[in-house]
Amino acid sequence: MTYAVLWQPQASKQAESLDYTIARRIHQAVGKLAAAPRPSGCTNLAGAADLWRIRVGQYRVVYAIRDRELVVLVVLVVRVGHRREVYR
């Protein structure tokens, strides 16, 4: 079963503001979340049971997984940013 990937407007703007090659790598990594929302190397964030993180080079994509949706299971991208700034 595949998931639908929805970008929050803030996360989309953050990704678009990055260098083109980095933004393309992030979009490819997020696109793969539709097939496997918990890929190897993903981490559940401490203190937030519903937030997950994947690494894309020096950048982190923080996202939420909604498994309980009736028809469409949704992976929601919450934040994209450099590792020194993404957790603030």
CATH domain 4-82 topology: YaeB-like fold (3.30.2310)
Spell out a b/e string for 5-30, using b for 16 or more CB atoms within 10 Å of the CB, else e.
Answer: bebeeebeebbeebeeebbeebbebb
User: Average pLDDT for residues 16-24, to the nearest whole number?
Assistant: 88
Predicted pLDDT at 24: 93
Across 12-41, average pLDDT: 89
How many other β-carbons are positioned within 10 Å of the β-carbon of residue 42?
16
The whole-number pLDDT of residue 69 equals: 63
pTM above 0.75, yes or no: yes
- Banded pLDDT at 71 (limits 50, 70, 90): very low
